[in-house]
Amino acid sequence: MPPAESLAASMLDAARAVAAVIAGSTLDEALSRGAAHAVNTAAVRDMAYQCLRAHTAIQTRLGVLVPRALREADRQALLLVALCRMEARPDSAHTTVSQAVDAARTLGGDRFASMMNAVLRTAQRRTQALDDAVAASPAAQWQHPQWWLERLQQDHPRHWQDIARAGNAHPPMALRINRRRTDLARAQARLVDAGLSAQVRGDCGLLLDKPVPVQRLPGFAEGELSVQDIGAQHAAGLLDAGNGQRVLDASAAPGGKACHLLEVADIDLLALDHNPVRARRIDENFSRLGLPGRVAIGDAAQPDDWWDGRPFDRILADVPCSASGVLRRHPDAKWLRRPGDIAHFVAQQRAILDALWRLLAAGGKLLYATCSVFRAENQDQVAAFLTRHPDCEQLSPCGAPDLQLLPTAEHDGFYYALLQKRPRQG
C-alpha cells in the first residue's frame, strides 16, 4: 500500500469515487463513503471532479491507448484518473507516472503496474494521435455527451458553445451577506483584512476572486455570511415576500434561498424537503444565521401529508431538474443522466407545480425555479402550466416574461418564472 499521504493514495481514492459514479452513484455519495480513509481529501476531490468534467475527452484518449476497457472497474477508473492528471499537469508528468504505477501495483500487482506505465508512457509519445481522436468527436471535444450537446444546440443555438465551455470550467464562489447581522461594506472590508478580494454584486452579494474554504471567511461562523451563487440570489427578490406573509419554500435543502428570504423580510416561512438528512442542513443554517424558519419533512407533490390547510401568500417552487445549469458543480451528471431523464424531470415538475398551486392564496405569487438551461424544464413547462390553469397569470418582474440565466464566469445557470393566482371574481 502506498503511504496514506501520497499522491498514489489520493489517486486510488479518486479512482474509487469515479468507479462508483460510473456504476451509478452520485459523486457526493462516493466521496462521502471514501472520506473516512482519505487523508488528502482536497486532492481526491479535485482529481475526481477533474476526471468527470473531462470524462468524454479522457475516455476517448484512453480508448486509443487501450481499445478494450478493463473488466475491473476500479482499474479502468485509475487509468482515467492518471491520464487526466497527466493531461492537466504536463509539468509534473514524471511524478504522475511514478505515483500512478505505485497505485496500480496496489490494485493489480506488478502486471497492472507495468500496464499503467506503458499506457502513460505511450500517451506522452502519441499526443498528436490522441488530440486527433478528440478533435474527431464533438462529444470528446466539448466534453459532454452527444445527446446533451444536441439539446443545447436546439435550445440555445447562439450560446451552446459558451454553455458547454462553462460546464467544463471550475465554478465561481460567491457569498451572500446576512443583512440582519452585517452590510456589504463591512463584510467586504473584513474579507480584505483577511487577505481575500471580492467584488460587490447586487444588494447582498460578493463574488470572490478565488474560491477558499469557508473556514477562511471572516464572519461565516458568526452567521454574517453564507455561500450562495449569484444566480441563486435572484430568487428572494423575484418572489417579493413582504412582512407578515406566510411563505413556503418547497424542496428547500440546503436552505440557501429560504435563509435569504428570512434575512430580507419578517415572514412566517416553512422550509420543506423530502430528505430528512438534507432537511437537517436547513435547520443548521437557520441556527447559524439566527433565523426563525420552520422545517418540515415531506413530498412537495403530496401536500396532504404535511400541509395544515392554510394557504400561502408566496411559494418558492425550486423543483428537481437535470441540473444542466450547474453541471460544473455536478460533473457526475455527465455519467448519470440519460436522454429519457429529462421527460422524467418534466413529469415530476408538473406534479409538484399542480400540487402546490392549490396551496397558494388568491392573489398570491409562486416563483417557479430550476437550475436548468433546457427549455423542456423551463419555458415549455411554464407554458403548459398556464394552459392547464386559467386562474394563473405570468408576471414580468424583470421586464420580461421570465429570466433565463446562462452559466458564466460569475454565476451558474438558473431559470425563474413568476406566476400569480388571479383573485376570485365577485
pLDDT digits (tens, 9 = 90+) for 110-127: 999 999 999 999 999 999
pLDDT at 72: 95
- Give every CB contact of residue 108 below 8 A, 6+ residues apart in sequence: 72, 75, 115
All three cell numbers of 115, joined, read 500496464
Percent residues over pLDDT 90 in the chain: 92
pLDDT at 143: 95
Residue bearing cell 445549469: 325
Catalytic residue among 51, 259, 321, 371: 371
pLDDT at residue 302 greater than cutoff 60: yes
For the entire predicted model, the pTM comes to 0.93
pLDDT at residue 34 greater than cutoff 70: no
Residue bearing cell 460587490: 200
pLDDT at 2: 84
pLDDT at 272: 97
pLDDT at residue 38 greater than cutoff 80: no
Q: What is the mean pLDDT of residues 347-365?
A: 98
Q: What is the mean pLDDT of residues 32-59?
A: 84
- Cα–Cα distance measured from residue 40 to residue 80, given in angstroms and rounded to the nearest whole number: 19
pLDDT at residue 35 greater than cutoff 60: no
Helix pair 7-22, 93-125: axis angle to 10 deg: 60
pLDDT at 73: 95
Q: What is the mean pLDDT of residues 387-406?
A: 94
pLDDT at residue 378 greater than cutoff 50: yes
Mean model confidence pLDDT for the chain: 95
Residue 37's pLDDT band, with cuts at 50, 70 and 90, is low
Residue 36's pLDDT band, with cuts at 50, 70 and 90, is very low
Is 371 an active-site residue? yes
- Give every CB contact of residue 347 below 8 A, 6+ residues apart in sequence: none
What are the Cα distances from residue 321, in Å, to 278, 326, 342, 369? 17, 11, 8, 10
What domains can you pick out in the chain, each with its CATH number?
A: 7-139 (1.10.940.10), 173-228 (3.30.70.1170), 231-421 (3.40.50.150)
pLDDT at 106: 94
- Cα–Cα distance measured from residue 309 to residue 312, given in angstroms and rounded to the nearest whole number: 9
pLDDT at residue 207 greater than cutoff 60: yes
- Cα–Cα distance measured from residue 187 to residue 184, given in angstroms and rounded to the nearest whole number: 5
Q: What is the mean pLDDT of residues 194-198?
A: 97
